[in-house]
């Protein structure tokens, strides 16, 4: 029974880690990548639609991202969504595709991005702790329902080990992303 609680906590922490990876992918590092714009929401005929549903992406080099809309009439709203985003990039439109040129990040902008990464990592750590807390509450309820104190202690140690492993993964991802951001 305790194993179910531990497995559930482990699964939730893995999902939180996957979410953090997706968040990190959307942080600009100076290299062009479709992950920066795929999640942008475009007002397409009055319906909020993800950009990845409206266009295909190509990266001809590290500093250029080309967006090819499936419907050429959507170019204006795609450009508007990109301009309104926090990317800090002005799209250029030639009637067929939208080009996004990624200039090198300034030192100041890199440091701002590191702060954003650290904030996202802290949010992930808080999520891990919240999952640990809810699992611990379930285990304590099981103790009231007849679980022995030795089994509870073993389960709590296993839960702490799972949580520490997840937090270590967050720290590792954060350090890698910081290194990626600060390299010139």
CATH number for the domain spanning 40: value is 3.30.1360.40
Number of domains making up the chain: 2
pTM value surpassing 0.85: no
Where a domain ends, among 67, 86, 101?
A: 101
DSSP annotation of 70: S
Domain of 175, in residue numbers: 2-25+106-182
Same domain, 93 and 155: no
Same domain, 61 and 89: yes
Strand order in the sheet with 98-101: 55-61, 64-69, 98-101, 92-93
What pLDDT is recorded for position 184?
64
Helix (H, G, I), strand (E, B) or coil at 93: strand
pLDDT in tens, 74-111: 899 999 998 888 777 889 988 899 999 888 778 888 88
Same domain, 165 and 135: yes
pLDDT in tens, 143-174: 898 888 898 899 999 999 999 999 999 999 99
Same domain, 175 and 113: yes
């Amino acid at each position: 029974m305790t194993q179910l609680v531990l497995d559930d906590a482990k699964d939730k922490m893995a999902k939180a880690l996957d979410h953090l990876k997706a968040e990190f992918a959307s942080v600009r590092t100076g290299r062009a990548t479709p992950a920066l714009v795929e999640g942008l929401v475009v007002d397409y005929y009055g319906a909020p639609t993800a950009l990845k549903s409206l266009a295909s992406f190509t990266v001809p080099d590290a500093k250029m991202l080309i967006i090819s809309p499936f419907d050429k009439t959507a170019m204006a709203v795609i450009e508007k969504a990109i301009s309104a985003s926090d990317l800090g990039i002005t799209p250029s439109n030639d009637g067929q595709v939208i080009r996004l040129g990624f200039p090198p990040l300034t030192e100041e902008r890199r440091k701002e991005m590191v702060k954003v990464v650290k904030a996202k990592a802290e949010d992930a750590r808080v999520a891990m702790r919240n999952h640990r807390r809810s699992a611990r509450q379930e285990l304590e309820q099981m103790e009231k329902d007849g679980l022995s104190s030795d089994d509870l202690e073993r389960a709590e140690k296993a839960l702490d080990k799972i949580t520490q492993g997840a937090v270590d993964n967050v720290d590792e991802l954060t350090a890698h992303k910081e290194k990626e951001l600060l390299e010139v």
